[in-house]
């Protein structure tokens, strides 16, 4: 378990300096002594950005490196939800925690509360190194090569407040996976790190890493490229910094829409870009400011893999494993155990998921999760599928954990099942979204439940409210991306449906376009596809395998074509009103801040 450097209640000098500067800048801004654009860039670099509601409503994004949280931090999230926001917080696909409708004037007090438990919003937004993400089972995975937790922590510490990471051409994302299953999703990030082994001459193996670079999603997804076959452990951090420096040197600072690192592959070619990174690394090692060697936190904590328990059948999890969860039990506890429990860690310990519908956690639930963590002496991490996982359990603790989670509404079998729909915040709060992605996610969940398909395993559904892909729709089995439609002379909410996205085994496949749909028909389309998959798949067959056998997205789309029809406004006025809205649909897009531009 990675421990924090300061105790609860104290604030580090660096964090205090950040907060005091925010107070000074905010005072100048409110007194109209600071230009709007200057303050906007400043607050974005501090993890604060405006909402589509305008005024002083702010979204606050809290970094949770590789998803790891301590009890006092969980309790603080409950406090923040009640004191500053609307009673709940949202887990993102990059293991951040977001709170909305925070008054700008109250941000400094919120930052002080967060800093008292070693949480920060610094560089959670803006053209910076964003939250360092990682596999939520790292250190507890039966198949990992290395525990990437201390490496992710080392990267977080190295780049936080690093002068090189403050004014990049665009945002820069780094993540870690402990094995080729790639639960951390390394294959579509600016830097993706996967732990691997290479053989030594004496027949043993050397653990290290394979580093990938220049991946990204958005309107034009790019698969990450391999830098080299093997990166030794003592060369990992200089390799990551060399990639960052190369991006800083050559990234497009004139056109934000083509400023991400992925565009350098198009403009200079992957070979030249690779050569420049290696050259940058070569001279970085000679820098007087580079400490070199294995990071101190890795030396202190160790990175040995969890390993397998001799008497336990390991549980395969993650899209890249090809495993499919199948529920066979009728008892609620047994069904939760089948879907949400992962076995296989050395010494027989297990991990178990708490299901957070749509990634939302109420203040009472945050506090209850903290109480469970303390009571049972467990580790907690949030996942990139917007759930919470408890680690370090003993078999005899599972029934108690289930009872505690059931009491707070988080014991539903969800992990790796169809009901575990992922969605970005969408037009509820985001300036760039054109549709209410959260509303569609709820509608799909309801439709799957009604059809008896919510517990189908091996199918992932992701939704984004715009092309920026914060909901990672490109990489899911079934993906939806919001779009404005025109029908009968009126604007209407719609979605593009994609099929066959997949990430794992050091590869990424982006979903194929199937067809466009009215928002109010998207749930029915999802039900039909999930139902056909459940009815036709062979034993152990993954969604992408079934889809290929069925002819791919072009073969599925004609069977859904009837759903791409808009009734007239008189026949179905609800087709022209988005989910959770009361008035006619309008694709109102505000000024991009954090995600798109």
147-201 pLDDT, tens per residue? Answer: 999 999 999 999 999 998 999 999 999 999 999 999 999 999 999 999 999 999 9
What sign for the dihedral angle of Cα 409, 415, 420, 422?
positive
**H/E element, 97:** strand 97-103
Provide CATH code, domain 13-115: 3.90.480.20
Residue 261 reports pLDDT greater than 90: yes
Q: What is the mean pLDDT of the chain?
A: 92
Nearest to 434 by CA among 377, 494, 373, 384: 494
The share of the chain scoring above pLDDT 70, in percent, equals 95
> Which residue would you say has higher pLDDT here, 345 or 578?
578
Q: Exposed, middle or buried: residue 87 (CB in 10 Å: 0-12, 13-18, 19+)?
A: exposed
**pLDDT in the model for residue 346:** 72
**pLDDT in the model for residue 583:** 86
Q: Exposed, middle or buried: residue 458 (CB in 10 Å: 0-12, 13-18, 19+)?
A: buried
Three-state SS at 392: strand
**pLDDT in the model for residue 344:** 75
Residue 316: pLDDT band (50, 70, 90) is low
**pLDDT in the model for residue 349:** 78
Three-state SS at 131: coil
Residue 286: pLDDT band (50, 70, 90) is confident
**pLDDT in the model for residue 300:** 96
- Look at the chain and count its residues: 597
Cα pseudo-dihedral 571, 572, 576, 581, rounded to 10? 140
User: May I ask the CATH class of domain 319-407?
Assistant: alpha beta
> Which residue would you say has higher pLDDT here, 430 or 314?
430
Please report how the helices 519-536 and 543-550 are oriented relative to each other, as an axis angle in degrees rounded to 10.
90
Residue 56 has a CB neighbour count (10 Å cut-off) of 15
For the segment 37-50, the average pLDDT, to the nearest whole number, is 95
Superfamily of domain 145-301: Sulfite Reductase Hemoprotein, domain 1 (3.30.413.10)
DSSP 8-state symbol, 385: T
Residue 4 reports pLDDT greater than 50: no
Give yes or no for a contact between 391 and 351, defined as CB atoms under 8 angstroms apart.
yes
Give yes or no for a contact between 173 and 190, defined as CB atoms under 8 angstroms apart.
yes
Give yes or no for a contact between 458 and 475, defined as CB atoms under 8 angstroms apart.
no
CA 8 – CA 119 distance, rounded (Å) = 10
For the segment 114-133, the average pLDDT, to the nearest whole number, is 97
CATH topology of domain 422-576: Sulfite Reductase Hemoprotein; domain 1 (3.30.413)
CA 361 – CA 370 distance, rounded (Å) = 12
pTM for this predicted structure: 0.94
Kindly report which listed range (345-354, 407-416, 560-569) carries the lowest average pLDDT score.
345-354
What are 523-573's pLDDT values in tens digits?
Answer: 999 999 999 999 999 988 999 999 999 999 999 999 999 999 999 999 999
Tell me whether domains 319-407 and 422-576 share a fold: no
Domain boundaries, given as residue ranges, for the chain: 13-115, 145-301, 319-407, 422-576
């Amino acid at each position: 378990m990675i421990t924090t450097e300061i105790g609860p209640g104290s604030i580090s000098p660096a964090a205090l300096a950040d907060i005091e500067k925010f107070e000074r800048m905010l005072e100048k801004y409110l007194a109209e002594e600071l230009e709007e654009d200057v303050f906007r860039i400043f607050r974005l670099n501090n993890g604060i950005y405006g909402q589509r509601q305008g005024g002083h409503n702010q979204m606050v994004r809290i970094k949770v490196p590789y998803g790891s949280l301590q009890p006092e931090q969980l309790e603080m999230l409950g406090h923040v939800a009640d004191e500053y926001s609307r009673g709940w917080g949202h887990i993102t696909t990059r293991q951040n925690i977001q709170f909305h409708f925070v008054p700008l004037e109250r941000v400094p007090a919120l930052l002080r509360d967060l800093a008292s438990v070693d949480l920060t919003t610094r560089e959670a937004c803006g053209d910076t190194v964003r939250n360092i993400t990682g596999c939520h089972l790292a250190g507890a995975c039966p198949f990992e090569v290395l525990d990437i937790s201390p490496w992710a922590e080392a990267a977080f510490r190295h780049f936080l407040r690093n002068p090189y990471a403050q004014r990049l051409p665009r945002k820069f994302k780094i993540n870690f996976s402990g094995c080729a299953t790639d639960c951390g999703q390394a294959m579509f990030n600016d830097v993706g790190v996967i732990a691997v082994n290479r053989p030594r001459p004496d027949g043993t193996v050397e653990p290290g890493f394979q580093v990938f670079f220049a991946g990204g999603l958005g309107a034009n997804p790019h698969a990450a490229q391999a830098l080299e076959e093997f990166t030794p452990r003592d060369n990992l951090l200089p390799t990551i910094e060399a990639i960052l420096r190369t991006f800083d040197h050559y990234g497009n600072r004139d056109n934000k829409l083509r400023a991400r690192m992925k565009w350098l592959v198009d403009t200079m070619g992957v070979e030249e870009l690779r050569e420049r990174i290696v050259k940058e690394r070569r001279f970085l090692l000679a820098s007087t400011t580079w400490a070199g060697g294995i990071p101190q936190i890795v030396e202190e904590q160790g990175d040995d893999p969890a390993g397998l328990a001799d008497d336990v059948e390991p549980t395969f999890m993650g899209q890249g494993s090809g495993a499919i969860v199948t529920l066979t039990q009728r008892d609620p506890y047994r069904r939760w155990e089948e879907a949400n429990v992962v076995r296989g860690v050395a010494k027989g310990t297990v991990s178990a998921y708490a299901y957070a519908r749509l990634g939302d956690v109420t203040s009472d639930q945050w506090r209850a999760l903290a109480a469970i963590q303390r009571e049972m002496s467990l580790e907690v991490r949030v996942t990139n599928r917007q759930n919470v996982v408890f680690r370090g359990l003993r078999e005899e603790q599972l029934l108690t954990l289930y009872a505690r989670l059931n009491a707070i509404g988080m014991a539903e079998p969800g992990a790796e099942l169809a009901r575990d729909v992922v969605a970005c915040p969408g037009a509820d709060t985001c300036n760039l979204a054109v549709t209410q992605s959260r509303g569609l996610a709820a509608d799909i969940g309801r439709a799957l439940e009604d059809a008896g398909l919510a517990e189908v395993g091996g199918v992932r559904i992701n939704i984004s409210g715009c092309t920026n892909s914060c909901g990672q729709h490109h990489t899911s089995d079934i993906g939806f991306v919001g779009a404005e439609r025109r029908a009968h002379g009126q604007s209407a909410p719609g979605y593009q449906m994609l099929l066959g996205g997949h990430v794992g085994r050091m590869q990424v496949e982006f979903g194929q376009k199937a067809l466009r749909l009215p928002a109010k028909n998207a749930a029915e389309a999802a039900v039909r596809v999930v139902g056909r998959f459940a009815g036709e798949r062979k034993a152990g067959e993954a969604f992408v395998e079934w889809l290929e056998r069925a002819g791919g997205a072009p073969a599925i789309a004609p069977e859904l074509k009837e759903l791409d029809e808009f009734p007239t406004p008189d026949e179905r006025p609800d087709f022209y009103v988005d989910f959770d809205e009361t008035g006619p649909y309008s694709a109102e897009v505000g000024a991009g801040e954090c995600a798109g531009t």
